[in-house]
Structure 1
Amino acid sequence: MSAAPASIRTTCAYCGVGCGIAATVTGERSVTIKGDSSHPANFGKLCSKGTHLGETVALEGRLLHPMIGIERAGWSEALDLVAGKMRDCIETHGPDSVAFYVSGQLLTEDYYVANKLLKGFVGTSNIDTNSRLCMASAVAAHNRAFGEDVVPCTYDDLDEADLILLVGSNTAWCHPVIWQRIEAARRNRGTKIVVIDPRRTETAEQADLHVAVAPDGDVALFNALLCEMRTWGLVKSAPAPEGFWDSIACEHGIDPGTFAKLLDLVMTHDRMVTVFSMGANQSASGTDKGNAIANLHIATGRINLPGAGPFSMTGQPNAMGGREVGGLANMLACHLGFSVAERADVAEFWRTDRLSAGPGLKAVDLFRAVHDGRIKFLWVMATNPAVSMPDAGFVREALARCETLVVSEVIADTDTARFAHVRLPALGWGEKDGTVTNSERRISRQRALFAAPGEARADWAIIADVATRMGYDAAFAWKSVADVFREYAAMTALAVKHGKVLDLTALARIS
């Protein structure tokens, strides 16, 4: 009698909850999926997407070999071409003519290597991510409120909260496992649930109170709450000006009776968590919304205690990991900026004299620069901007104009890949090995279940091979993905030195 196949602990690839999975390989490209009961993000629960993750491992439609134009190529030929084109572009037009557009689907190690190559050795900060479209406003709000992109809550705070505000978040649909946790808190401790959203969503239907604020009325609403709590002496500051609330209610379509109920709930529950997501972030005033939420918590002391704090919920599985390594155009690495002292420490750590001097182009501006010819070499990794970017028609025009477009992908025929001069086959879920960081900053492993199909390779290894061909081999000579993680963890010592709370140094020697 043969033994049952052992399950492999890994992490779901769908959203920022970061659910643990117990995967059991049952055939050549077949796997059964169960929730990992020991994982603290989900304790065995999975949503319908996670449950059906095994359906994504089939090879139909996969990019399995490097392609130059429409012709199959070997890895050496393809990587020589990519490195040569990038080097020629830098020599002719300068480092700012090169850009990477990356993704919250990458592993932390992939992000780290891409960021190190572009900022550390090419000498430009033109690396941005599709997470820009959903999380950058939360990053800016955290920096404004706390001086650093830190999330002051964990999922445990949802278990201990007496009041949970959900702002711009249809949690029941978009983060179902978190919604199950919130519902459990309501059953177990009577937690009140308030949804602040212009839409009557499924989450709003199940809430104790729905505050149907007008679009972009969130800042005024949270400032009004803060002013009213000042009036009641709950904040040591001047009272709200006379008539303030009436003007806010009139302008932003909030029913005064509903506001009174919300104010009463907020005033009478110190253990309050405010979860905010894409409905708040994806806005021209997204940073102000996140900041207003944080201000309410800070000013009223509803932070830094169990069951209290502002909680930004990420959308992609590794949006947080990308933020932490520095995979955004307006930061350097590991929560560090571009001050003289920070740049000096990063340059010394990476042993480079080519370090980028300042911020680069953010996503929208990056594609404008591709369109007008300032960026001549673009490498897109694990994302499809021809579909997902705002003004997608303009982005497609930009891609068509790009002198050299490289795409690292798992799918052979995406809207973006159709414009590519070089396509490089990357690993997908179930083949990758590395780490991801979820909404509560918990680091989890993604483990390989299957051997790499065809000639597909890990993103970090592809980038490192290009760096080697450009002459930077000493700085990119890792033997394994664990080596990359250990270097990144060690680098967070620089963040600590500069007063940041990001500190993974205890993991710098992990096996």
Structure 2
Amino acid sequence: MGAGEAVRTTCAYCGVGCGILATRTGDRAIEVRGDPDHPANFGRLCSKGTHLGETVGLEGRLLHPMIGRRRAGWDKALDLVARRFRDTIANFGPDSVAFYVSGQLLTEDYYVANKLMKGFIGSANIDTNSRLCMSSAVAGHIRAFGEDVVPASYDDLDAADLVVLVGSNTAWCHPIVYQRIMAARAARGTKLVVIDPRRTETCEDADLHLAIRPGCDVALMNGLLAFCRREGALDAAFLQEHVTVPADFWEAIEAESDLWTVAKTCDVPVSDLQRFYALFAATPRTVTLFSQGINQALRGTDQVNAILNLHLATGRIGKPGAAPFSITGQPNAMGGREVGGLASTLAAHMDFADDNVARVGRFWSAPRMANKPGLKAVDLFRAVGEGKIKALWVMATNPAVSMPDAGRVREALSGCPFVVVSDVIADTDTSRFAHVRLPATGWAEKDGTVTNSERRVSRQRGMLPPPGEARPDWWIVTEVARHMGWGSAFAYTCAADVYREHARLSAYQNGGARLFDLGHHAAIGNAAYDEMVPFRWGRDPFGGDHALESRLTARLVTVRQAKLPEPLRDWPFTLNTGRYRDQWHTMTRTGLSPKLARHREEPLAEINPRDAERLGIANYDIVRVETPQGASLFRALLTASQRHGDLFTPIHWTDRQSTGGRTGLLPRSLTDPHSGQPGFKSTPARIEKVAVEWRAFLIVRGEAPRFPGCLWSSRITVPGGTLYELAGMGDATALEHSLPSGEWIEAADIARGTRRIAVVANGRMAAVLFITQSGELPGRDWLIAQLQAPGVAPSLLAAREPGARPDRGPIICVCFDVGLNTIVSAVKEQRLADVAEIGKALGAGTNCGSCRPALGRIVAEQASILARSRVNV
């Protein structure tokens, strides 16, 4: 790709699958904008996608194969990996080897990894971090449809009269989907109901928010289905033609499904429940979107089937504006599901039935086919810890952070005889346990396909050359297979070769038995592959506008609400975990972007103010969140959006960014019995304040070393350097050792225990360190800007420019760097009445739109303040 030439590709983040136009502007520089012709986003991008260009540099990249701490050539590294795998299989059998892969892989990468493990090594011990994200949806789809089919499209959002969001903070986690919902509300008055224990920003525009007790979704949906039956809202003709109903189904639905029983179970007002039920029953065009809040539960599969039952029984499926819709978290979770990237599936939507094993074995000419499901993620790492798995390959993921009970996972990795990690980043929490590290290409360099949440296949195209000796993941796996002696079966020369084989397998002896069928691409040429435009396979099940869907037969699945546990005396809180708006997974990519860091600069433990008051916790105190699995430190955020008795912590922070915020240490390794997905949303926990004697921040060009003895440190990337937030006990003067060399400018206030130090080198600010024992620390924005200033401001220790420019406050709109104080001032002074007027005045909310709920709340709060002031006058 030459400079100035736009490349059509797809976003590296969530499963919305947005199209991107990427233009190379330098050796390692690109400009990113939304692709107006891509049907997933029509040119819109969220904050993460908008700032992808900030993440394609070589900072922290793994550029060469490494054996231990020494650089090695590819042949030597591949020989070692192949030999250790061969020896392990020979001595302990194929089940002693495992792969743990990722929804960050392209479909072609996934395909060859699955083929190597299940057809040639002979074990199904290949699982993916998508197990943690959406495997309960997979299990629910298979139970209902016999196949992992998502019977919905984004077009349904445009046609819906009611959208129900269940366990999804869509405004933050899938902002482009949320914008589409908001557009439908504006165009056709679509109603919005949000079902979530937390009052997230997604709730700001909702007609109704049901803050249900965690884990009671089956009771809620069963109650709704019973209500629809009583109200005559079932679709008898659809049930007769398309759906099998178990003999005991309606008896189970009617048990304990009256409004008052359900309201008590869910801990919501009967009036709100009645309102939701009546609205659903009266609205045939309903889309129910569900995500991690449903999937990441100990009864997640049952919760999925409760939603599917509801839509099947009422005929709200396969019609415009009517569908149950699982929206995935990762960019290619769906592609991994299609090729068998999960340990519980074989390939091309086939399970491990004998005829499927034989069929795939024939197609691959496989010498040693796996004939049963392998170990799912939690069990896989448990087997590593027990010494049953002796060789492990981790691809494009960071399980030492993201797995539940991550401390135990680290112990398992440290004791594994042979660990291979292929990744783009040299130093991750997981790669520190690797015996061999293999450099993979990153998003800006990869070439292949991905499938998004609506089953749309899109091309990902590289726009930068691979740096150093980095290679595509499919190439790395292929070369290991060749070194193990299976070269003829892995004779791929490009990604298109892999895709063609994948397409052929999907159609091989299919005969319409499976909806997943890419047979029209079985002989696609390289040029046609290069020019491939986005397409959806299978179209909408149950009719739609594609003939084969009418052959799909569904079944209702009997599910009952499990008894919910009572709070434990020693662990009285329920911990929920999830994502922040502008960060992604363990921040190996988003952490490189200075702008994305500003929305949430530290890991926060969110707690209801009533609970905080009882425990003596104030806003932004350091707190310890503890579970039976482990403990970690966070800043406290008091917010009424949290239910009484619940806590929320983000999943993103690792040892690379903070001494605390390690949420992965906290959840139990308990899983859903059907899907094997961990229950991240309901861990018993406790929280307590941690006293500190001083607080500080350090802004430094480049990076600083670790801060020994510091109780709390957290880092983010800022333009020109790094910002560290610090807190601790005892003498804070040790922090001075982290300052770079240069001329010091210093001021102190002994009464408040405050010190301010600036370091000047080569006529520019190199660092500032501000410490206080009892006073307030100043804002950071102006000081951060001084890292790139050509000279040294005389007011450096005052932390503001002469004349005191107003503090813009916490960043609300990342796209345009607009802070809270700036927005509030504009609303007051210019009498801005709505989000659209804020956009015209400040630009905020006019790009990705993910801050629009926050802007709406600010407008409402200022209107309320103004109204109260008038009453008082």
Q: CA deviation at 1:58?
A: 0.3
Q: Which residue of 1 aligns with 2:99?
A: 100
Distance in 1 (alpha carbons) for counterparts of 2:83 and 2:256: 67
Note if 1:262 corresponds to 2:276: yes
One-letter identity of the residue aligned with 2:141: H
Note if 1:41 corresponds to 2:55: no
Note if 1:190 corresponds to 2:189: yes
Q: C-alpha deviations, 1:161-189, integer Å up to 9, x for none?
A: 11000000010111011110000000111
**Is contact 1:66-1:422 (8 Å) kept?**
yes
SS in 2 for 1:22: strand
SS in 2 for 1:246: helix
Q: CA deviation at 1:243?
A: 6.9
* Alpha carbons of structure 1 residues 479 and 147: separation in structure 2 relative to 1, 3 Å: same
Of 407, 424, 432, the match for 2:446: 432
Distance in 1 (alpha carbons) for counterparts of 2:495 and 2:254: 55
**Is contact 1:159-1:182 (8 Å) kept?**
yes
Q: Which residue of 1 aligns with 2:78?
A: 79
**Is contact 1:230-1:240 (8 Å) kept?**
no
What TM-score, normalized to structure 1? 0.98
Of 404, 417, 424, the match for 1:390: 404
Residue correspondences, number: 509
**Is contact 1:231-1:240 (8 Å) kept?**
no
Q: Which residue of 2 aligns with 1:172?
A: 171
One-letter identity of the residue aligned with 2:109: D
One-letter identity of the residue aligned with 1:380: V
Q: Which residue of 1 aligns with 2:343?
A: 329
Distance in 2 (alpha carbons) for counterparts of 1:495 and 1:383: 34
Of 236, 245, 259, the match for 2:259: 245
Q: Which moved more, 1:183-192 or 1:492-501?
A: 492-501
**Is contact 2:169-2:201 (8 Å) kept?**
yes
One-letter identity of the residue aligned with 2:354: V
Of 457, 460, 465, the match for 2:474: 460
Distance in 1 (alpha carbons) for counterparts of 2:141 and 2:454: 14
Q: C-alpha deviations, 1:111-163, integer Å up to 9, x for none?
A: 00000000000000000000000111000011111111100001001111110
Of 451, 474, 499, the match for 2:513: 499
Distance in 2 (alpha carbons) for counterparts of 1:150 and 1:91: 38
- Identity across aligned pairs (percent)? 64
Q: Which residue of 1 aligns with 2:557?
A: none
Q: CA deviation at 1:245?
A: 2.6
**Is contact 1:151-1:440 (8 Å) kept?**
yes
Note if 1:275 corresponds to 2:289: yes
**Is contact 1:142-1:151 (8 Å) kept?**
yes
Mapping 1:119-158, distance limit 5 Å: 119-158=118-157
Note if 1:422 corresponds to 2:436: yes
Higher relative contact order (CA 8 A, sep 6+): 1
Q: Which residue of 2 aligns with 1:12?
A: 11
Q: Which residue of 2 aligns with 1:490?
A: 504
Distance in 2 (alpha carbons) for counterparts of 1:134 and 1:4: 37
One-letter identity of the residue aligned with 1:379: W
Q: CA deviation at 1:233?
A: 2.0
One-letter identity of the residue aligned with 1:81: L
Q: Which moved more, 1:350-359 or 1:292-301?
A: 350-359
Q: C-alpha deviations, 1:454-481, integer Å up to 9, x for none?
A: 0000000010011011111111001110
Distance in 2 (alpha carbons) for counterparts of 1:361 and 1:42: 36
Q: Which residue of 1 aligns with 2:363?
A: 349
Distance in 1 (alpha carbons) for counterparts of 2:310 and 2:459: 35
**Is contact 1:342-1:498 (8 Å) kept?**
no
Say which structure is richer in helix. 1
Note if 1:292 corresponds to 2:306: yes
Q: Which residue of 2 aligns with 1:199?
A: 198
Q: Which residue of 2 aligns with 1:30?
A: 29
Distance in 2 (alpha carbons) for counterparts of 1:495 and 1:367: 35
**Is contact 1:495-1:503 (8 Å) kept?**
no
Q: CA deviation at 1:508?
A: 1.5
**Is contact 1:132-1:328 (8 Å) kept?**
yes
Q: Which residue of 1 aligns with 2:555?
A: none
Q: CA deviation at 1:510?
A: 2.0
Distance in 1 (alpha carbons) for counterparts of 2:456 and 2:208: 31
Q: Which residue of 2 aligns with 1:65?
A: 64
SS in 2 for 1:356: coil
**Is contact 1:495-1:502 (8 Å) kept?**
no
One-letter identity of the residue aligned with 1:307: G
Distance in 2 (alpha carbons) for counterparts of 1:242 and 1:81: 60
Q: C-alpha deviations, 1:62-104, integer Å up to 9, x for none?
A: 0000000000000000000000000000000000000000000
Q: Which residue of 2 aligns with 1:366?
A: 380
Q: C-alpha deviations, 1:357-412, integer Å up to 9, x for none?
A: 10000000000100010000000000000011000100000000000000001000
Say which structure is richer in strand. 2
Distance in 1 (alpha carbons) for counterparts of 2:180 and 2:258: 37
**Is contact 1:152-1:309 (8 Å) kept?**
yes
* Alpha carbons of structure 1 residues 494 and 4: separation in structure 2 relative to 1, 3 Å: closer
Distance in 1 (alpha carbons) for counterparts of 2:134 and 2:255: 33
**Is contact 1:496-1:502 (8 Å) kept?**
no
Q: Which residue of 1 aligns with 2:213?
A: 214
What TM-score, normalized to structure 2? 0.58
* Alpha carbons of structure 1 residues 201 and 5: separation in structure 2 relative to 1, 3 Å: same
One-letter identity of the residue aligned with 1:475: A
Q: CA deviation at 1:203?
A: 0.6
Q: CA deviation at 1:500?
A: 1.3
**Is contact 1:335-1:495 (8 Å) kept?**
no
Distance in 1 (alpha carbons) for counterparts of 2:376 and 2:511: 27
Q: CA deviation at 1:244?
A: 2.9
**Is contact 2:222-2:257 (8 Å) kept?**
no
Q: CA deviation at 1:260?
A: 1.0
Q: CA deviation at 1:231?
A: 1.0
Q: Which residue of 1 aligns with 2:684?
A: none
Q: Which moved more, 1:337-346 or 1:293-302?
A: 337-346
Mapping 1:293-332, distance limit 5 Å: 293-332=307-346
* Alpha carbons of structure 1 residues 4 and 60: separation in structure 2 relative to 1, 3 Å: closer
Q: CA deviation at 1:242?
A: 7.9
Q: CA deviation at 1:254?
A: 2.1
Distance in 2 (alpha carbons) for counterparts of 1:22 and 1:179: 21
**Is contact 2:287-2:324 (8 Å) kept?**
yes
Distance in 2 (alpha carbons) for counterparts of 1:336 and 1:243: 36
Distance in 2 (alpha carbons) for counterparts of 1:243 and 1:162: 26
Q: Which residue of 1 aligns with 2:614?
A: none
**Is contact 2:219-2:257 (8 Å) kept?**
no
Task: Give 4+ residue runs of structure 1 displaced > 4 Å after superposition.
Answer: 236-239
Structure label with greater radius of gyration? 2
Q: C-alpha deviations, 1:219-270, integer Å up to 9, x for none?
A: 1000000001111222356794687332221122121101111111111110
Q: Which residue of 2 aligns with 1:379?
A: 393
* Alpha carbons of structure 1 residues 360 and 241: separation in structure 2 relative to 1, 3 Å: closer
Q: Which moved more, 1:18-27 or 1:260-269?
A: 260-269
One-letter identity of the residue aligned with 1:392: A
**Is contact 1:406-1:423 (8 Å) kept?**
yes
Distance in 2 (alpha carbons) for counterparts of 1:277 and 1:211: 16
SS in 1 for 2:510: helix
SS in 1 for 2:443: coil
SS in 2 for 1:445: strand
Of 429, 437, 457, the match for 1:443: 457
Distance in 1 (alpha carbons) for counterparts of 2:432 and 2:475: 24
Distance in 2 (alpha carbons) for counterparts of 1:70 and 1:242: 61
Distance in 2 (alpha carbons) for counterparts of 1:17 and 1:508: 26
Q: C-alpha deviations, 1:416-469, integer Å up to 9, x for none?
A: 000100000000011000011100010111111111100000000010011011
Distance in 1 (alpha carbons) for counterparts of 2:264 and 2:479: 60
